[in-house]
């Protein structure tokens, strides 16, 4: 790992960064007298969306004009049948493929050909979803919840700044990648992807998009976009999640054509929806302090606790701790040690 990444908490492994939150969760669980108190939220999702929740099942409930064309693929599905589904849905290459129950953007890929898709599917043992690639320029993470009075609230807005390399006129693409804090750890992958340009001097000012997927692990910068909050954004988000019965709390990852999209309710595509495991993306802004990040994490944990307590007052049953541990083991089975330690 590049030593500079150690000093920036946004690059820390998930498990390490969240150590203080584990202790706070323990305190909240004691107060709630329920170890999995959060599982009463989002009954449309498994354990409130903590893990093992099908992205396809709740995405399919949204209107077609607010989501990409999407198909569900079973594990080990024959590529001929996959091709038929893609053709029937009129999805064209390049397209996006991702695990149906994936987390933190792992294994999300932009696929250019049927052959590449076949290779991807051969390597996975999980169900997947295929989506049309949306080229809208702005990608956001909007954290939304209904408060205890059933009022719509947005507590975080984060924008994803895709990783670009800017030419200096003196450095090769290889040199520029190795100097870049966000993607230097991906030299081997990028060398293959950009093999034709790898040793070429990039003209001064020329920009090269290194990664079209809005994934922090792949080099995307996450920025605080709360200044873009508007009542139009709030109204549209509330209208959107009303389509999902039982939705209480979570983050919508969306792409928009421009900032007027929420007012016109046009030029918006919901890429996926996350539940109680959703993070407030603004905390990963490089200008944000670690103390501010932990403050905001605890703030959102308090929201989840408060919403859960309200439901527990009405004798809503939590899912069992046994099933929670069994589900956790199932998640870990799909990950190798490298994935667990990866930031």
Chain segment 50-76, per-residue pLDDT in tens: 887 889 998 999 999 999 999 999 988
- What would the pLDDT profile of 10-28 be if each residue is shown by its tens digit? 999 899 999 999 999 999 9
CATH of residue 92's domain is 3.30.1490.20
Same domain, 120 and 169: no
- 70-73 and 95-99: which strand pairing? unpaired
Same domain, 189 and 274: no
Residue 215 lies in a domain: no
Residue 266 lies in a domain: yes
Same domain, 263 and 328: yes
Residue numbers of the domain that contains 172: 164-210
pLDDT of residue 342: 37
- What would the pLDDT profile of 207-248 be if each residue is shown by its tens digit? 999 988 888 888 999 999 999 999 999 999 999 999 999 999
Cis ω for the linkage preceding 94 (within 30 of 0): yes
Same domain, 48 and 114: no
| Span of 23-27, 141-145, 189-193 with lowest mean pLDDT | 189-193
Residue 332 lies in a domain: yes
- CA dist 284 and 294 (Å) reads 11
First vs last C-alpha separation in the chain: 10
Same domain, 170 and 280: no
The percent helix, strand, coil of the chain (3-state, each to 5) is 45, 20, 40
Residue 206 lies in a domain: yes
Q: Alpha carbon 85 to chain centroid distance?
A: 25
- CA dist 240 and 80 (Å) reads 34
Q: How confident is the model at residue 338 (pLDDT cuts 50, 70, 90)?
A: very low
Q: Is the pLDDT of residue 7 over 90?
A: no
H or E segment to which residue 15 belongs: helix 14-17
Same domain, 58 and 89: no
Residue 216 lies in a domain: no
Residue 245 lies in a domain: yes
Residue 13 lies in a domain: yes
Same domain, 12 and 147: yes
Three-state DSSP class for residue 284: helix
Last residue of a domain, one of 133, 150, 178: 133
Q: Is the pLDDT of residue 339 over 70?
A: no
Q: What is the pTM of this model?
A: 0.92
The answer to whether 63 and 268 have CB atoms below 8 angstroms apart is: no
Percent of the chain exceeding pLDDT 90 equals 75
Number of compact structural domains in the chain: 3
């Amino acid at each position: 790992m590049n030593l500079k990444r150690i000093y920036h908490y946004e690059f820390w492994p998930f498990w390490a960064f969240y150590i203080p939150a584990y202790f706070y969760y323990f305190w909240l669980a004691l107060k709630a007298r329920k170890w999995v108190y959060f599982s009463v939220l989002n009954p449309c999702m498994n354990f409130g969306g903590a893990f093992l929740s099908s992205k396809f099942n709740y995405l399919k409930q949204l209107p077609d004009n607010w989501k990409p064309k999407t198909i569900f693929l079973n594990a080990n599905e024959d590529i001929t049948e996959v091709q038929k589904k893609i053709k029937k849905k009129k999805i064209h290459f390049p397209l996006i493929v991702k695990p149906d129950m994936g987390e933190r953007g792992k294994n999300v890929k932009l696929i250019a050909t049927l052959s590449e898709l076949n290779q991807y599917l051969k390597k996975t043992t999980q169900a997947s979803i295929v989506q049309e690639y949306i080229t809208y320029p702005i990608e956001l993470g909007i954290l939304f919840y209904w408060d205890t009075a059933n009022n719509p609230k947005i507590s975080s807005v984060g924008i994803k700044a895709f990783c670009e390399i800017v030419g200096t006129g003196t450095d090769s693409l290889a040199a520029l990648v190795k100097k870049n804090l966000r993607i230097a750890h991906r030299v081997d992958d990028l060398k293959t992807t950009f093999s034709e340009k790898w040793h070429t001097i990039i003209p001064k000012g020329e920009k090269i998009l290194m990664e079209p997927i809005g994934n922090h692990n792949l080099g995307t910068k996450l920025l605080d976009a709360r200044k873009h909050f508007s009542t139009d954004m709030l109204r549209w988000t509330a209208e959107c999640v009303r389509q999902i019965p039982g939705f209480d709390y979570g983050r919508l990852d969306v792409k928009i054509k421009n900032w007027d999209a929420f007012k016109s309710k046009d030029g918006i595509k919901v890429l996926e929806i996350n539940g109680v495991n959703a993070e407030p993306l603004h905390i990963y802004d490089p200008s944000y302090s670690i103390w501010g990040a932990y403050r905001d994490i605890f703030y959102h944990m308090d929201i989840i606790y408060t919403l859960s307590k309200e439901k527990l007052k009405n004798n809503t049953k939590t899912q069992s701790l046994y099933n929670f541990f069994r589900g956790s083991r199932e998640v870990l089975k799909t990950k190798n040690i490298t994935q667990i330690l990866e930031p």
